[in-house]
Amino acid sequence: MFFFKLIDTVKNICNKTLTFKFKRKRLLLSEKYKRSKAIGYARATQNEYEYLEEQIKFLKEEGCILVFSEFISLDEEIKPQLNQAIDSLSKGDQLIVTQLDRAFKNKKECLRTINKLINNDIKLRTLTGFFSANESSKSNSSILKILYELDNLEEKSLDERKKEQLLRRKLSGHNLGGRPKISPLKESLVIRLRNEGYSYRSIRSQTGIALSTIRRVILEGELK
């Protein structure tokens, strides 16, 4: 009996001696981002309700636990919901947008925000393939994606501004574009005054017609 008790005692001492807690000095990437969260941001201009809802839907499907959204012009210096989205991010988190032009109006603003996020160990990702992080792996492909999306950013921004301008002109009742229309009677008056030796500015003061329209009418009259 004493012999068996002695063996049990030795086993207990060995077990207690060999049991210890392993703790890494640095976390593995899988552990580092285990508690990270994905925050989405969606933006559209006025009356683009379906487009905003579509963005929110895609971002939620991508795994965003929260999506900040707003109706606001691309040219607004301060986007309140975008700022809230960024402020809600912590180290290891992700900010996700459907496309870069949803959050940034130009390359300068985009790169400035990317730099801020990277310095805080936060990733920026788009659903079209853009990805930025502190990691240097696959740097060549990442750089190509960045350059590609930034190259398209200005064009997309310009298209949106044109749409906004057309919408504002439509709501205000102004001409939607193209050449200003004047009556045949005014056209003949412009040509007659010009033939009589009056200057463009003098014709404008007498008729109230814009200089660009006067030049066009005269040019078209000379080509006939």
Together in a domain, 216 and 132: no
In 47-181 the beta strands, taken as DSSP E runs, fall at: 66-71, 94-97, 123-126, 131-132
Identify whether 73 is part of a domain.
yes
Does residue 143 belong to any structural domain of this protein? Answer: yes
In a domain, 23, yes or no: no
pLDDT along the chain (224 residues), means of 10: 47 38 41 72 91 95 94 89 95 94 86 83 87 54 64 74 78 60 84 87 87 84 63
User: In sequence order, what DSSP letters do the residues of 128-154 get, joined into one string?
Assistant: TS-EE-S--TTHHHHHHHHHHHHHHHH
pLDDT of residue 137: 45
Whether residue 78 lies inside any domain: the answer is: yes
Total domains, the chain: 2
Q: CA-to-CA distance for 164 and 167, rounded, in angstroms?
A: 5
Q: Are residues 126 and 57 in the same domain?
A: yes
Q: Is residue 75 part of a domain?
A: yes
Three-state DSSP class for 120?
coil
Burial class of residue 29 (count of CB atoms within 10 Å of its CB; 0-12, 13-18, 19+) = exposed
Do 131 and 45 fall within a single domain?
yes
For 70, the domain range is 34-156
